């Protein structure tokens, strides 16, 4: 009985001890209440490093927990050296709050992101170093955030992982990449006929000379993209390194049903088309170091989106780099997680 | 909205607890069971069973007979999302219980589909900050409210004179303030304590 009492008191003391804010293996959970949204922010990893890598999830409508859910080989690798920040955007993932279509705008997402960065500085000190990384739509959001010079000055570098940069050009870029993959696969693939048919369909779409797509007409390139993705999988062109999704469900509250049942995009896709003009005129505002990482077989946001970004920003050549992962598609963290993490580490070490 | 739901639940709880037919008191029971979302997210549920209707198809010289019960079960559940939230669910279940009883041994098995309506409070875990102008203020607590509609299936049976065993599965839809419809799947394992030896 005496020992039980001592053990219970010890347990209570352990549970009551304040969590170290700076540690090699920190795990801090925050909620940020801003403009009707309740945004979950998880800081995980080495906060002693004073380097914070913010991972912006894709979608729109995804969840930052996808990174953990898809590949701990990617996230754990980086968490050993840096603090990773998983933040679910408004009306996405584990975020809660009001449903307000008027606040589901690119501008509001930019404001939310700025508040997240400010909160990190508020908690961990003004001298922490922030690296902004985005995947797919996350990169689009990061790029838009960096157009403003004051906001850009808060960030050491931008790491663009399979990012969408220009919504309209994305369609042409994807079709171009599908054509190139088809040319490679037709002589060697057991799906040669399917690749040939797809190439013909892609050529037909290109021949229409559609200069401006919109949220409705992009359905044709999107369908071709889906067909290409199926053939890429069938031809075993991708590496797959998935960890057990169970670990993410129980440790990180990843909700597979949420992703299946709720599309929280609102009008964001339409807004992205309208925002293309801003992208064209504002990309030159970017002058910070930019790393672009794309999967060779990414037909959702093709490598040409990264090239477009690199060609139109003002960053000096020495501070720009494009990495192509040879056995990856759109989800490089699932396909080649360790290579991806190593590339990011090397980049951060150069620009920290 | 939250207040009216709580008032509604309290009003009907009081009515159902205190307005029972005294002849049915013998079948009242308390259920205590593990309530795990996706099986392993930990939680606990306590409910109270009040029989609203009983029909026993008892025939002489038959080894088994079938009973039908309609139970109202006010329920309180708690389940935990690690690092994210504590969830408290208060509501009602309407259980239709089929019970096969062995006349010789008095042992029985239950098969019990039910419907459930409840209010769910999600209380956030972690440090909570609210933006005020250009600054942040720390808040002690925050969370969300939603209502849930669900259905489930319980199996149970005789364990001893005082206790029944219970195993079940439940699904409920959570209707959130941000217009999400979240799907929750839960597994249950526990006991029911009979308030009278029946």
Domain annotation for chain B: domains and CATH numbers: 2-17+28-194 (2.40.160.20)
The predicted pLDDT at position A216 comes to 83
Compute the mean pLDDT over every residue in chain A, rounded to the nearest whole number: 89
Q: How far is A129 from chain B (nearest CA, A)?
A: 20
The predicted pLDDT at position B133 comes to 85
Q: Is A99 in CB contact (< 8 Å) with chain B?
A: yes
Please determine, for residue B14, whether its predicted confidence score (pLDDT) is greater than 50.
Answer: yes
Q: Is the CB of A96 less than 8 angstroms away from the CB of B144?
A: yes
Question: In angstroms, rounded to a whole number, what is the distance separating the alpha carbons of residues B173 and B124?
Answer: 20
**What is the per-residue pLDDT across A130-186, written as a single tens digit (0 to 9) for each?**
999 999 999 999 999 999 999 999 999 999 999 999 999 999 999 999 999 999 999
Mutate to test the interface with B, among A38, A61, A99, A122 (most CBs of B within 10 A): A38
Q: How far is A93 from chain B (nearest CA, A)?
A: 11
Q: Which residues of B touch A21 (CB under 8 A)?
A: none
Question: First-to-last CA distance in chain A?
Answer: 54
CA distances from A231 to A165, A287, A347, B7 (A): 25, 38, 33, 57
Closest CA to A73 of A288, A282, A243, A297: A243
Please determine, for residue B23, whether its predicted confidence score (pLDDT) is greater than 50.
Answer: no
Across the interface, which of B40, B131, B182 has its CB nearest the CB of A34? B131
Sequence-separated (6 or more) residues with CB below 8 Å from residue A283: A143, A147, A165, A309, A312, A313
The predicted pLDDT at position B157 comes to 92
The predicted pLDDT at position A244 comes to 62
The predicted pLDDT at position B3 comes to 61
Which range among A72-81, A260-269, A314-323, A339-348 shows the weakest confidence by mean pLDDT? A260-269
Sequence-separated (6 or more) residues with CB below 8 Å from residue B27: B49, B51, B54, B69, B198
Q: Per the structure block, which two tokens stand in for B191?
A: 């006991």
Residue in the structure block whose two tokens are 């369909």: A201
Q: Chains A and B: how many Cβ contacts under 8 Å?
A: 84
Which range among A170-184, A254-268, A285-299, B99-113 shows the weakest confidence by mean pLDDT? A254-268
A258: confidence class by pLDDT, cuts 50, 70, 90: low
A338: confidence class by pLDDT, cuts 50, 70, 90: very high
The predicted pLDDT at position B131 comes to 95
Residue count of chain B, please give it: 198
Q: Per the structure block, which two tokens stand in for A196?
A: 């040939």
Region A63-77 average pLDDT: 83
Closest CA to A170 of A74, A307, A38, A76: A307
Which range among A336-350, B57-71, B127-141, B164-178 shows the weakest confidence by mean pLDDT? B57-71
The predicted pLDDT at position A183 comes to 95
Q: Are A46 and A24 in contact (CB under 8 A)?
A: yes
The predicted pLDDT at position B90 comes to 96
**What is the per-residue pLDDT across A45-56, written as a single tens digit (0 to 9) for each?**
999 999 999 999
Please tell us whether the domain made up of A23-166+240-351 is placed in CATH 3.30.70.890.
no
Question: In angstroms, rounded to a whole number, what is the distance separating the alpha carbons of residues B174 and B180?
Answer: 8
Q: Per the structure block, which two tokens stand in for B129?
A: 């900050």
Please determine, for residue B22, whether its predicted confidence score (pLDDT) is greater than 50.
Answer: no
Please determine, for residue A69, whether its predicted confidence score (pLDDT) is greater than 80.
Answer: no
- CA torsion angle A299 A303 A306 A311 (round to 10): -130
**What is the per-residue pLDDT across A183-220, written as a single tens digit (0 to 9) for each?**
999 999 999 999 999 999 999 999 998 888 888 888 99
For B103, phi then psi, to 5°, come to -65, -35
Q: Is A22 in CB contact (< 8 Å) with chain B?
A: no
Question: In angstroms, rounded to a whole number, what is the distance separating the alpha carbons of residues B136 and B77?
Answer: 33
pLDDT over 70 for what percent of chain A?
88
Closest CA to B162 of B138, B122, B132, B197: B197
A243: confidence class by pLDDT, cuts 50, 70, 90: low
pLDDT over 90 for what percent of chain A?
69
Q: Are A119 and B136 in contact (CB under 8 A)?
A: yes
Please determine, for residue B63, whether its predicted confidence score (pLDDT) is greater than 50.
Answer: yes
Q: Is the CB of B182 less than 8 angstroms away from the CB of A31?
A: no
Helix, strand, coil % in chain A, rounded to nearest 5: 50, 15, 30
Region B100-121 average pLDDT: 91
Closest CA to B165 of B194, B133, B134, B122: B194
Kindly identify which residue of chain A lies nearest to residue B180, measuring between CA atoms: A262
Residue in the structure block whose two tokens are 């109202």: B72
Which range among A99-113, A123-137, B16-30, B80-94 shows the weakest confidence by mean pLDDT? B16-30
**Chain B window 56-85: which residues touch A at a Cβ cutoff of 8 Å?**
81-84
The predicted pLDDT at position A94 comes to 85
The predicted pLDDT at position A213 comes to 87
- Per mean pLDDT, which of A14-28, A59-73, B129-143 is the most reliable? B129-143
Q: Which residues of B touch A258 (CB under 8 A)?
A: 180, 182
B24: confidence class by pLDDT, cuts 50, 70, 90: very low
Upstream peptide bond of A60 is cis (omega within 30 degrees of 0): yes
B76: confidence class by pLDDT, cuts 50, 70, 90: very high
Q: Is A27 in CB contact (< 8 Å) with chain B?
A: yes
Residue spans per domain, chain A:
23-166+240-351, 171-234
Region B167-188 average pLDDT: 88
Question: In angstroms, rounded to a whole number, what is the distance separating the alpha carbons of residues A184 and A10?
Answer: 64
Sequence-separated (6 or more) residues with CB below 8 Å from residue A229: A299, A300, A329, A330
Please determine, for residue A337, whether its predicted confidence score (pLDDT) is greater than 80.
Answer: yes
Kindly identify which residue of chain A lies nearest to residue B40, measuring between CA atoms: A250
DSSP label at residue B41? B
- Taking the mean position of all CA atoms in its chain, how far away is CA A248? 17
B196: confidence class by pLDDT, cuts 50, 70, 90: confident
- Using DSSP's 3-state secondary structure scheme, residue A237 falls into coil
Q: Is B139 in CB contact (< 8 Å) with chain A?
A: yes
Q: Are A198 and A220 in contact (CB under 8 A)?
A: no
The predicted pLDDT at position A143 comes to 96
């Amino acid at each position: 009985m005496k020992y039980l009492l001592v053990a219970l008191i010890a347990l209570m003391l352990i549970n009551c001890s304040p969590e170290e804010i700076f540690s090699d293996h920190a795990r801090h959970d925050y909620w940020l209440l801003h403009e009707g949204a309740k945004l979950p922010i998880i800081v995980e990893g080495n906060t002693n490093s004073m380097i914070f890598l913010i991972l912006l999830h894709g979608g729109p409508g995804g969840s930052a927990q996808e990174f953990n859910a898809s590949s701990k080989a990617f996230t754990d690798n980086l968490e050993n050296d840096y603090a990773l920040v998983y933040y679910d955007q408004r009306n996405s993932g584990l975020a809660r709050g009001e449903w307000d279509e008027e606040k589901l705008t690119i501008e509001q997402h930019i404001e939310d992101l700025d508040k997240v960065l400010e909160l990190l500085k508020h908690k961990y000190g003004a001298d922490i170093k922030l690296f902004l990384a985005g995947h797919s739509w996350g990169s689009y959001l990061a790029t838009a955030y960096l157009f403003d010079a004051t906001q850009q000055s808060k960030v050491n570098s931008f790491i663009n992982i399979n990012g969408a940069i220009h919504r309209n050009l994305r369609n042409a870029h994807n079709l171009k990449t599908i054509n190139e993959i088809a040319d490679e696969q037709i002589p060697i693939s057991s799906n040669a006929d399917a690749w040939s048919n797809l190439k013909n369909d892609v050529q037909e779409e290109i021949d229409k000379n559609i200069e401006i797509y919109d949220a409705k007409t992009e359905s044709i390139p999107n369908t071709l993209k889906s067909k290409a993705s199926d053939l890429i999988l069938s031809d075993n062109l991708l590496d797959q390194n998935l960890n057990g999704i169970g670990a993410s469900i129980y440790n990180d509250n990843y909700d597979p049903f949420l992703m299946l049942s709720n599309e929280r995009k609102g009008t964001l896709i339409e807004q992205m088309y309208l925002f293309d003009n801003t992208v064209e005129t504002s990309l030159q505002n970017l002058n910070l170091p930019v790393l672009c990482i794309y999967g060779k077989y990414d037909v959702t946001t093709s490598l040409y989106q990264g090239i477009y970004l690199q060609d139109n920003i003002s960053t000096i050549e020495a501070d720009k780099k494009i990495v192509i992962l040879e056995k990856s598609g759109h989800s490089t963290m699932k396909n080649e997680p360790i290579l991806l993490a190593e590339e990011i580490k090397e980049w951060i070490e150069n620009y920290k | 909205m939250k207040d009216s739901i709580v008032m509604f639940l309290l009003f009907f709880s009081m009515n159902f607890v205190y307005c029972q037919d005294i002849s049915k008191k013998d079948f009242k029971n308390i259920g205590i069971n593990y309530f795990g979302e996706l099986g392993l997210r930990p939680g606990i549920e306590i409910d109270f069973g009040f029989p609203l209707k009983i029909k026993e198809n008892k025939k002489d010289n038959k080894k088994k007979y079938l009973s039908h019960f309609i139970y109202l079960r006010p329920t309180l559940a708690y389940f935990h999302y690690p690092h994210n939230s504590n969830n408290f669910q208060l509501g009602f279940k309407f259980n239709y219980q089929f019970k096969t009883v062995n006349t010789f041994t008095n042992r029985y098995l239950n098969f019990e589909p039910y419907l459930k309506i409840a209010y769910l409070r999600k209380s956030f875990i972690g440090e909570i900050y609210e933006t005020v102008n250009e600054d942040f203020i720390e808040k002690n607590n925050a969370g969300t409210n939603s209502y849930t509609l669900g259905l489930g299936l319980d199996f149970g049976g005789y364990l001893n004179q005082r206790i029944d065993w219970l195993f079940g599965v439940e699904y409920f839809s959570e209707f959130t303030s941000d217009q999400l419809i979240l799907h929750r799947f839960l597994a249950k394992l526990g006991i029911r304590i009979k308030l009278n030896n029946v």
